[in-house]
Amino acid sequence: MHKIVKNALLNAKKGRWFTLACVVVMSFSFFLLSIFITVGAVSYNLLRYLETRAQITVFFKDSTSEQEILLEKDQLEKDPNILEARYTSKDTALQNYISEHKDEPLLLESLTKDIFPASLDIRARDLAYLPQVEKKYKENTLVEEVVFYKDVVNSFKQFSNIIVYGGLALVVLLLLTSTITVLLTIGSSIYVKNEEISVMRLVGASNWYIRGPFLLQGVLYGTVAAVISEVVLTVLVSFLGNDIAVLFKGIDVIKINWLYLVVVFFIQILFGAFLGLLASWGALRRYLKI
């Protein structure tokens, strides 16, 4: 066995430039794969977050009294399909605005509660019930405007799909390039050792003895590339993790922890080794006749 490992390392060393090309292309592919998986996870968490926020906000006309609004709230709370109906009075809306923009005095000049409508934030137990709620309040004469967050969520969903699926398409293309690079590298190793291989066959070397080093060579490329990609990812997350969290203003979108990185690390190594093995196997079928 140690001869097979030794020969695999020798093959990689002899074709050092090919080895470098393979490792760089594979590392880049794996790194991008990790990035897009992470973007996918962040998008998913953000969507979950958005879906748990107020799903419909009903803004009432200025002429609508607080009593009328509270009556609507009571009716909603009696409805078993409604999870929550939260009332925001004109005063509260003003206070919220002031606290959100306390560092921007220009925005707060000559503000009165009259410009803020009173509202009800409504959440349903099942998202499918929301269109009925929306319809009901759109027809209500007390209501100024109904904002249905489904549109916001859908827009975000579409946007994140474009990023994730576009990214994955790019990754698939890169993985294909990686596979072809490994295939050609192993092919060139086989070509260089053609004479040795023909002697090996005639002196009775087992098929595994001949094939093993080439298979292992591909596994080695994939594994090294996965390790490099994972190290770069870990360093990036360590340095940028907090900045990313700040970007989302405290929304818990990025749940990356060390366990996550360890799991991704092992999955990537297995995936890298498998991809290398697959490419080597293809090269052996294509270039090595025993």
Partner 1 sequence: MILFQEVFKKYADGTEALRDVNLEIKPKEFVFVVGSSGAGKTTLLRLVVREEVPTSGKVFVDGDDIAALKDKDIPELRRKVGYIFQDYKLLAGRNAFDNVAFSLEVVGKSDDEINRIVPKYLEMVGLLNKIKSFPYQLSGGERQRLAIARALVHEPKIILADESTGMIDPSSTWEIVKLLDKVNSWGTTVVMATHDFNVVNLLKKRVVEINDGEVVRDEKSGLYEPRHSKTSSLV
Among 203, 246, 255, 259, binds partner 1 (CB under 8 A): 203
Which residues lie across from 119 on neighbouring strands?
59, 88
CB of 290 to partner 1, least distance (A): 7
Among 96, 132, 198, 242, binds partner 1 (CB under 8 A): 198
CB of 206 to partner 1, least distance (A): 5
Among 165, 209, 258, 266, binds partner 1 (CB under 8 A): 209
Compare residues 2 and 249 and give the one whose CB is closer to partner 1. 2
Among 47, 205, 236, 267, binds partner 1 (CB under 8 A): 205
Q: How far apart are CA 277 and CA 206, in angstroms?
A: 19
Per CB under 8 A, 242 contacts partner 1 = no
Residue 181's CB is within 10 A of a number of other CB atoms, namely 20
Stretch that binds partner 1, among 61-69, 106-114, 192-200, 233-241 (CB under 8 A): 192-200
- Per the structure block, which two tokens stand in for 185? 């590298």
Among 3, 53, 138, 286, binds partner 1 (CB under 8 A): 3
Per CB under 8 A, 142 contacts partner 1 = no
**By rule CB under 8 A, what count of residues binds partner 1?**
15
Compare residues 235 and 290 and give the one whose CB is closer to partner 1. 290
Among 80, 195, 249, 259, binds partner 1 (CB under 8 A): 195
Q: How far is CA 204 from the centre of its chain?
A: 51
Stretch that binds partner 1, among 176-184, 197-205, 235-243, 257-265 (CB under 8 A): 197-205
Compare residues 138 and 201 and give the one whose CB is closer to partner 1. 201
Phi and psi, residue 219, nearest 5°: -60, -40
Using DSSP, state whether 82 is helix, strand or coil: strand
Amino acid of residue 179:
T
CB of 257 to partner 1, least distance (A): 47
Helix H or strand E encompassing 196:
helix 194-202
Q: Give every CB contact of residue 221 below 8 A, 6+ residues apart in sequence.
A: 12, 19, 22, 23, 26, 182, 185, 272, 276
Q: How far apart are CA 8 and CA 4, in angstroms?
A: 6
Stretch that binds partner 1, among 63-71, 147-155, 163-171, 190-198 (CB under 8 A): 190-198
First-to-last alpha carbon distance for the chain, in angstroms, is 20
Q: Name which of 228, 168, 173 is nearest 40 in CA terms.
A: 168
Stretch that binds partner 1, among 54-62, 68-76, 173-181, 191-199 (CB under 8 A): 191-199
Per CB under 8 A, 290 contacts partner 1 = yes
Q: Name which of 196, 229, 225, 230 is nearest 213 in CA terms.
A: 196
The helix-helix angle for 207-247 and 16-52 (nearest 10°) equals: 40
Per CB under 8 A, 199 contacts partner 1 = yes
Contact 287, 193 (CB under 8 A): no
Per CB under 8 A, 194 contacts partner 1 = no
Stretch that binds partner 1, among 161-169, 170-178, 196-204, 251-259 (CB under 8 A): 196-204
Whose tokens are 């993790």? That residue is: 241
Binding residues for partner 1, rule: CB under 8 A, are 3, 195-196, 198-207, 209, 290
